[in-house]
Amino acid sequence: MRWKDSEGSHRRPADGYNSIQMKRALIVLLLIVLLLLAVPIVRPVHAADAQETLRQAIAAHQSGDIPTAIRLYREFLKEHPEVAEVRSNLGAALARDGQYTAAIAEYKEALKKLVNNPGIRLNLALAYYKLARLPEAVTELVAVHKAQPAELQPVYVLGDCWLQMGETKKVVELLTPFDEKYPQDMAINYMLGTALLQEKQTARAQVVLDRILSRGESAEASLLLGFSAYQLHDNKAAVKHLARAVELNPNLPTVHTAYAQALKETGDFDNAAAQFQQELKLNPYDYIANLETSLQLKQEGKLDESMACLDRALRVRPDDPGALYQHATVRLLQGRNDQARVELERLIRDYPQFTEAHVSLATVYYRMKRKEDGDRERSAVRRLQEAEQKRQEEKQKNASPAKPAQ
């Protein structure tokens, strides 16, 4: 289960005590940051017409006339490309218009001259975040956090990025000091509670969960209770809590994925598939929903659609071996043997104990008439299987109670 948002936002639980969904909070945060950067202190420009163009651009930006602002900022920068603050303004306007890729280019150009400007770097991170380019967002957010360690805004977004990427240990390390300082911050409570549960730090997670529960019933509390039950393999309780979470707030990020996972464990595969699809409508980049849906589509022979889901999953977790393996096997089913070979060779290089990857690579080699390479992979599979069998035998031996002395 991951704490995600298709709008690229951090969230606060929606309860009756002034806590709002992190989704809305980060959208507001993004707009505030962009508006602040929309009125920089720019160096004097002596030409009267350039000054007037810039004045009109800023006025259009502030009034919400974003297309006009973009046009005028670009007009100004044709004559004065060296003014990095205005280039940052252009990036902000492009982001407001949803042109995140173009915004990234402008922010990066501005940072060449304003290297130590944390506001521009935060906006660059947010643009990456909106595109689900999370590893790149993390790089910028870590730099912003280092420059402004007490600021909460980059912490919210960085914590959410790491949750989506499965880096729960880093989430715990990041948020623990802020939890001690802001114990009633519901965004921190939710992210930290989720990470602690995934790290199986049950006692600490319960403390955080109790804070959320003390504010009364909420979708967020039901989601965490459901996930806790799911980890304890109490699938009946998990389904109950997660169904309630969906009922309370069907737009809560990750709630449909969590519910789907619990349903799947009870054997309700059809409803689980429907819940994964519902999650993807809210967040097209939900990692688990994409991976699970890709497997279903692969079984149905819908290989192009399966590949699209895997591409989205890998955008969030580009180094995940499970997603990389599935990506390669779809290539294999599509008859793209050489592409599958390249991906599988890279996978076993990075994960040499990945038995299934060796099996699939052997298949690829045999299809390509590379018998010697195929035989080598089959031998690797036998060695790995024998080693695993020995580990299981040793595990059973150690688990067996000692026989009493005769």
Tokens of 87: 């280039």
The percentage of the chain sitting over the pLDDT mark of 90, rounded to a whole number, equals 76
Query: Is the residue at 124 inside a domain?
Result: yes
- Tell me the CATH number at 42: 1.25.40.10
Cβ atoms 167, 3 nearer than 8 A: no
Q: Structure pTM?
A: 0.74
pLDDT in tens, 359-377: 999 999 999 999 999 999 9
Tokens of 153: 């805004």
In three-state secondary structure terms, 152 is: helix
Its domain, for residue 142, covers: 1-165
Running DSSP on this structure, what letter comes out for residue 286? -
Query: Is the residue at 39 inside a domain?
Result: yes
The total of structural domains in the chain comes to 1
Tokens of 345: 């060779």
Sequential DSSP letters for 211-239: HHHTT---HHHHHHHHHHHHHTT-HHHHH
Sequential DSSP letters for 302-339: -HHHHHHHHHHHHHH-TT-HHHHHHHHHHHHHTT-HHH
Query: Is the residue at 344 inside a domain?
Result: no
- For CA atoms 335, 338, 339, 343, the dihedral sign is positive
Query: Is the residue at 13 inside a domain?
Result: yes
Cβ atoms 47, 225 nearer than 8 A: no
Running DSSP on this structure, what letter comes out for residue 18? S
Single out the residue of 211, 180, 181, 167 nearest to residue 193, CA to CA: 211
CA separation for the pair 110, 37 (Å, rounded):
12
Query: Is the residue at 68 inside a domain?
Result: yes
Query: Is the residue at 10 inside a domain?
Result: yes
Calculate the average pLDDT of the chain: 87
For 278, phi and psi rounded to 5 degrees? -65, -40
Tokens of 271: 């409803």
Task: Return the H-helix or E-strand segment holding 107.
Answer: helix 100-111
Core vs surface per residue 152-165: b (16+ CB within 10 A) or e: bbbbbbbbbbbbbb
Cβ atoms 36, 211 nearer than 8 A: no
pLDDT at 154: 95
CA atoms within 13 A on the CB side of 147: 16
Query: Is the residue at 375 inside a domain?
Result: no
pLDDT in tens, 266-317: 999 999 999 999 999 999 999 999 999 999 999 999 999 999 999 999 999 9
Integer Rg of the chain from CA: 25
Q: Mark the ranges of the chain whose per-residue pLDDT is less than 70.
A: 1-47, 400-406
Query: Is the residue at 47 inside a domain?
Result: yes
Tokens of 98: 């949803």
pLDDT in tens, 158-168: 999 999 999 99
Neighbours of 21 (CB within 10 A): 24
